[in-house]
Chain A
Amino acid sequence: MSEPLLLEIGCEEIPARMIAAAAEDLRGRVVGILDQAGIAHGGSLAWGGTRRLAVRVEAAAPSTAGGDEVVLGPPVSAAFDAAGKPTPAGAGFAKKQGIDPAALQRIETEKGIYAGFRRTSPGQPLEKVLAASLPNAVAGMGFPKTMRWGDGAHRWVRPVHWIVALHGAEALRLEVLGVASGRTSRGHRFLAPGPVALPHADAYVDALRGAHVLVDRAMRRAKLMEELHRAAEAIGGEPVPDEALLHEIEELVEWPGVVAGRFDPSFLELPEAILVTTLRHHQKSFSVRAGAKLLPAFLSVANTDRDPAGHVRRGNEWVVVGRLEDARFFWSEDRKRPLAARVDELSRVTFHKKAGSYRDKTDRVIALAAAIAGRLGAEVVGADVVAAARLAKADLVTGLVGEFPELQGIVGGLLLRAEGAPEAVAAAVADHYRPAGVEDSIPGTEAGCVLAVADRLDTIVGLLRAGETLSGSRDPFGLRRAVGGIFRILAERRWPITMADLFAWSEEDAGFRRFIQERLTNWLLDRGFRANEIEAVRRPAVSPTDFDRWPLPEILDRLEIVRTLRGRSDFAKLVELTKRVDNILVKKPDLPGGDLRHRETHESALALERSYEAARPRILAASEAGDFPAVVDQLGELVGPVAKFFDDVLVLDPKSPAATLWRCDLLAKVRGVITRDFDIRELAGQADAKR
């Protein structure tokens, strides 16, 4: 009977960062085993906690399907004698297989005729399939780091302690990494230390919940959020949201609880970013806000929801206060000198061993920032940008950034504000590492954006020249993120800066050009454009550019237009017709000399000519004005006349070379306007293309 299958591997504490991926890996492997063996099953789920990975597969069949099979023995010539009786070899085979030698048959195969027999196989039981395949599947799981333990015979992420394998109510017997399976799991390490016997696979989630373990990440998140809000409300505030921290913490605990701790209100004099970062960085704790202000309190997450003696709160307060004192010390030390006094110290901080120090980088970024500001014209206060570029990296040698590297830039901005620097300069320095990720926004000011682009340009050019590059998913220097940041800023600010400008600022570095072109295509694909749409825009009939000479916003505008063509049947028709034009023009015969003047009389041909003459100036004007929707509308007007032309007119008319020439010329002109701005022929078959 089909029953749910439950597997759980119990082990010592798995690193939080690995749990979700490992559970999913295990699920994939278990399902793979079932599929390969031919065991029917339903959907599957992956669960995990600090001490366990688990997989549930719905409606798993008790065995493989089974069926008819042929068992072959020796060749007929060896198995039977001249009289057709089994030889000793034939009889031996039959005996070994447990059948009567008289039942041996002659079975023809591609390789010859053999002695053998047919039987109906009962199918392999699930237990046997898993026992044979699961141990290697589990041992082969892909963890970022594995270890050995004890006698060193096994290698896994952490030592394994128990295995649960249940098919419905039945315990399956297997051995994984030296541990025999059973129906006994374990609960929370401290709150429910005894064994947890599982009567049925269905009992897993509830039984573990009863033993203070939430195996489902979503359940842990729900309890965590509830506890955070409850604890914050009790002290009159709400938790400062921090999705990245939540994501990490929900894998660190199996039974989340929250303690609210307090610290001296005098620490609130620290800038908010420093306070919040101190709490999250060192203590994985949430800050608490009441209205616009932070409270002198924090929320720490524990792997227990009780604190009967107050130790959990007290211990966390102790550590938090120590950290806040460190932060306050650095904040006061760092303000003793103006940020500008630190710029020269950057000469002892290596940016890259082949690309010099951060002092060297600073000079390069100043020059780049000035060039970009110059290119953008007067609305940018170039002086602010240059001042900000000079100070941008100086906070790398402050105590605070030494302690909290993730506050780079922000600390520079805070110090500059504290010393009364112009707000435009402080804001540019504070923001220049943004966007820090896809969720983050670009710098809030024009100067900040200029500085951000200049810094990243220098990083990319410098690292590429130093021989660093991307390989597969590896991107140790964050080049992918850096170039993505540049693209986003160019696009969102709608700057008139082209890729050719970027190439010029790299001093026409060939590696940089290749890198930018390749990354631009990838970046556009990541934004949901299709490869053929990108090609259609990249290669218009009028001056194919490889995108180099257009500002990025214009590239995006054109792509957006092309994207609107998806699923428009009139355009599918136009694409088809344009390809037909191509096919005909290829066949255009070499025409003899003589008088080839042709006076067209065919109404459909004349109609197409009129449509073309009407559309052409409008398309040119719209294209010049960058009004691509209007271009597309005009192209739409041509669909009917072109279609009718093909229906009614014989283009390659063997009887009239002059008519052939005239009509081919007309088609070439029509094709010229159709493909002028977008080579829509690239979109052929798009309706079927699934990405």
Chain B
Amino acid sequence: MNFQRLLLSIQEFWAERGCVLQQPYDIEVGAGTMHPDTFLRVLGPEPWKAAYCQPSRRPGDGRYGENPMRVYKHYQFQVVLKPSPIDVQEIYLRSLRAFGIDPLEHDIRFEEDNWESPTLGAAGVGWQVVMDGMEISQFTYFQQAGGRELAPIPVELTYGIERICMFLNDIKNIFDIPWNDEGVTYGDVRRREEVEHSIYSFREADVEMFRTQFERWEQEAARLAAIPLVIPAHEAVLKCSHLFNVLDARGALSVTERAGFIQRIRKLACQVADAYVAQREEAGFPLLSA
């Protein structure tokens, strides 16, 4: 199964199960969790189901397109279901069948792996899903986000679709993944970007500009959250988070400075979360009656 077919099947699977089929967020993020359709929608009492593929940038994981497994940017498929259905594990396993994975031919295990995002003030309890010794998914019952205890509890499922695709096709190098059946590979589509972003993140990024930008977006996020303009404020937080990731990859932050940056982003994320919940409450939590 080629890469785009895999993506189409998983989208179709979750669309059929009542998810809002979203599109990737158009701002740099490190994970699908930061998309407002997860980070904000998990807050408050309203039900929510969404699924989308989110290109996720991890500047520190860039390997100049030379490592067969690690990349600056990967495609994370993200599903969020709130409240968590009691049969969510079964549904998840059915989604694997949609890729042609027969659990009786594999060893699939749920191994404890609790998740925490200090920058988002978020934490959850769950597992990494391990298939034949490989981690293929993170499966997390969110307990807090934006510093707030959650109720109802959302569950987040993320799929490492490159990995799954490599395994299904018995491919050892991510860049050899067939993107479609026309002979175009993942490397043809993405390798140059990997090389350039690695060079940029590790060597070229203008540290002073990034520091200045961080300060500016930090101020902007706080100002917007106070108005409140929730989505623009959230986007400003995402900017800060990405700027921080690049500074970190660039080796520009000392250990204590790093902890300070994380605290600053977390504070903003919590402000945005509060503003979002207040806004929804004022609107009467419209999705409660949906």
CB neighbours of A318 from chain B (8 A): 133-134, 167, 172
B143 touches A147 (CB 8 A): yes
Return A154 CB to nearest CB of chain B, in Å.
10
B133 touches A252 (CB 8 A): no
A159 touches B86 (CB 8 A): yes
Give 1 or 0 for each of B51-81: 1 = CB within 8 Å of chain A CB: 0000000000000000011000000000000
B127 touches A150 (CB 8 A): no
Q: Across the two chains, which residue of chain B brings its CB closest to A302?
A: B107
Give 1 or 0 for each of B98-128: 1 = CB within 8 Å of chain A CB: 0000011111111110100000000001010
Q: Across the two chains, which residue of chain B brings its CB closest to A317?
A: B133
Residue total for B at the interface (Cβ-Cβ under 8 A): 35
Q: Of the candidates B68, B103, B155, which one forms a contact with A190 in the assembled complex, judged by CB atoms under 8 Å apart? A: B103
The answer, yes or no, to whether B187 is at the interface (CB within 8 Å) is no
Give 1 or 0 for each of B165-208: 1 = CB within 8 Å of chain A CB: 00100101000000000000000000000000000000000000
Q: Across the two chains, which residue of chain A brings its CB closest to B136?
A: A315
Q: If the complex has contacts A148-B143, A315-B131, A319-B134, are A161 and B86 also in contact, measured as CB distance less than 8 A?
A: yes
For window 306-339 of A, CB contacts with B under 8 Å fall at 306-309, 311-316, 318-320, 322
The answer, yes or no, to whether B20 is at the interface (CB within 8 Å) is no
CB neighbours of B111 from chain A (8 A): 13, 16, 252
B107 touches A152 (CB 8 A): no
CB neighbours of B152 from chain A (8 A): 150-152
Return B87 CB to nearest CB of chain A, in Å.
9
Q: How far is the CA of A314 from the CA of B132 in the complex (A)?
A: 8
B104 touches A303 (CB 8 A): no
Q: Of the candidates B69, B109, B151, B255, which one forms a contact with A148 in the assembled complex, judged by CB atoms under 8 Å apart? A: B151
Return A19 CB to nearest CB of chain B, in Å.
11
Most B Cβ at <10 Å: residue of A253, A285, A322: A322
B110 touches A13 (CB 8 A): yes
Return B28 CB to nearest CB of chain A, in Å.
27
Q: If the complex has contacts A148-B151, A149-B153, A318-B172, are A308 and B104 also in contact, measured as CB distance less than 8 A?
A: yes
Q: Of the candidates B109, B110, B127, B153, which one forms a contact with A152 in the assembled complex, judged by CB atoms under 8 Å apart? A: B153
The answer, yes or no, to whether A184 is at the interface (CB within 8 Å) is no
The answer, yes or no, to whether B89 is at the interface (CB within 8 Å) is yes
Return B126 CB to nearest CB of chain A, in Å.
8
The answer, yes or no, to whether A283 is at the interface (CB within 8 Å) is yes
Most B Cβ at <10 Å: residue of A253, A285, A312: A312
B86 touches A312 (CB 8 A): no
CB neighbours of A15 from chain B (8 A): 112
B143 touches A304 (CB 8 A): no
Q: How far is the CA of A259 from the CA of B106 in the complex (A)?
A: 12
A303 touches B172 (CB 8 A): no
Q: If the complex has contacts A151-B152, A152-B150, are A315 and B141 also in contact, measured as CB distance less than 8 A?
A: no
Give 1 or 0 for each of A391-410: 1 = CB within 8 Å of chain B CB: 00000000000000000000
The answer, yes or no, to whether A222 is at the interface (CB within 8 Å) is no
The answer, yes or no, to whether A517 is at the interface (CB within 8 Å) is no
Return B96 CB to nearest CB of chain A, in Å.
11
Q: If the complex has contacts A12-B110, A149-B141, A314-B170, are A190 and B104 also in contact, measured as CB distance less than 8 A?
A: yes
CB neighbours of B103 from chain A (8 A): 189-190
Q: Across the two chains, which residue of chain B brings its CB closest to A304?
A: B107
A149 touches B107 (CB 8 A): no
The answer, yes or no, to whether B83 is at the interface (CB within 8 Å) is yes
Q: If the complex has contacts A148-B143, A191-B104, are A315 and B133 also in contact, measured as CB distance less than 8 A?
A: yes
The answer, yes or no, to whether B84 is at the interface (CB within 8 Å) is yes
Return A310 CB to nearest CB of chain B, in Å.
9
For window 285-309 of A, CB contacts with B under 8 Å fall at 285, 300, 302-304, 306-309
Give 1 or 0 for each of B245-288: 1 = CB within 8 Å of chain A CB: 00000000001000000000000000000000000000000000
Return A245 CB to nearest CB of chain B, in Å.
14
Q: How far is the CA of A638 from the CA of B151 in the complex (A)?
A: 78
Q: How far is the CA of A147 from the CA of B86 in the complex (A)?
A: 14
Q: How far is the CA of A318 from the CA of B166 in the complex (A)?
A: 10
The answer, yes or no, to whether A97 is at the interface (CB within 8 Å) is no
Q: If the complex has contacts A152-B153, A312-B132, are A147 and B125 also in contact, measured as CB distance less than 8 A?
A: yes
A190 touches B172 (CB 8 A): no
B83 touches A150 (CB 8 A): yes
Return B207 CB to nearest CB of chain A, in Å.
19
Q: How far is the CA of A467 from the CA of B112 in the complex (A)?
A: 33
A316 touches B109 (CB 8 A): no
A315 touches B151 (CB 8 A): no
CB neighbours of A350 from chain B (8 A): 255
B131 touches A149 (CB 8 A): no
For window 128-149 of B, CB contacts with A under 8 Å fall at 131-134, 141, 143
Q: Of the candidates A145, A159, A303, A316, which one forms a contact with B114 in the assembled complex, judged by CB atoms under 8 Å apart? A: A145
CB neighbours of A191 from chain B (8 A): 104
A150 touches B84 (CB 8 A): yes
The answer, yes or no, to whether A375 is at the interface (CB within 8 Å) is no
Q: If the complex has contacts A13-B127, A190-B108, are A322 and B133 also in contact, measured as CB distance less than 8 A?
A: no
A312 touches B106 (CB 8 A): yes
CB neighbours of B86 from chain A (8 A): 149-150, 159, 161
Q: How far is the CA of A191 from the CA of B132 in the complex (A)?
A: 15
For window 356-393 of A, CB contacts with B under 8 Å fall at none
For window 148-167 of A, CB contacts with B under 8 Å fall at 148-152, 159, 161
B255 touches A322 (CB 8 A): no
B104 touches A311 (CB 8 A): no
Return B202 CB to nearest CB of chain A, in Å.
17
CB neighbours of B114 from chain A (8 A): 145
CB neighbours of A303 from chain B (8 A): 107-109
Q: Across the two chains, which residue of chain B brings its CB closest to A12?
A: B89
For window 1-23 of A, CB contacts with B under 8 Å fall at 12-13, 15-17
Q: How far is the CA of A618 from the CA of B193 in the complex (A)?
A: 90
Q: Across the two chains, which residue of chain B brings its CB closest to A257?
A: B107
CB neighbours of B83 from chain A (8 A): 149-152
Q: If the complex has contacts A302-B107, A303-B107, are A315 and B167 also in contact, measured as CB distance less than 8 A?
A: yes
B132 touches A149 (CB 8 A): no
Return B141 CB to nearest CB of chain A, in Å.
5
Q: Of the candidates A16, A308, A312, A322, which one forms a contact with B112 in the assembled complex, judged by CB atoms under 8 Å apart? A: A16
B105 touches A311 (CB 8 A): yes
A147 touches B141 (CB 8 A): yes
For window 597-634 of A, CB contacts with B under 8 Å fall at none
Return A267 CB to nearest CB of chain B, in Å.
15
Return A265 CB to nearest CB of chain B, in Å.
18
CB neighbours of A50 from chain B (8 A): 109-110
Q: Across the two chains, which residue of chain B brings its CB closest to A282?
A: B133
Task: Offer 10 A-B interface pairs, CB within 8 angstroms, sorted by A.
Answer: A15-B112, A147-B153, A149-B153, A150-B86, A259-B107, A285-B133, A308-B105, A312-B107, A312-B133, A315-B133
Ranked nearest first, the 8 interchain pairs of A and B with the lowest CB-CB distance are A315-B132, A15-B112, A302-B107, A152-B151, A316-B133, A13-B110, A147-B125, A190-B103
Kindly list 18 other residue pairs between chains A and B, CB separation below 8 angstroms, not including A50-B110, A161-B86: A13-B109, A13-B111, A16-B112, A50-B109, A145-B114, A147-B125, A147-B153, A149-B155, A150-B83, A150-B85, A190-B108, A252-B109, A252-B111, A253-B109, A302-B107, A307-B107, A315-B106, A318-B133
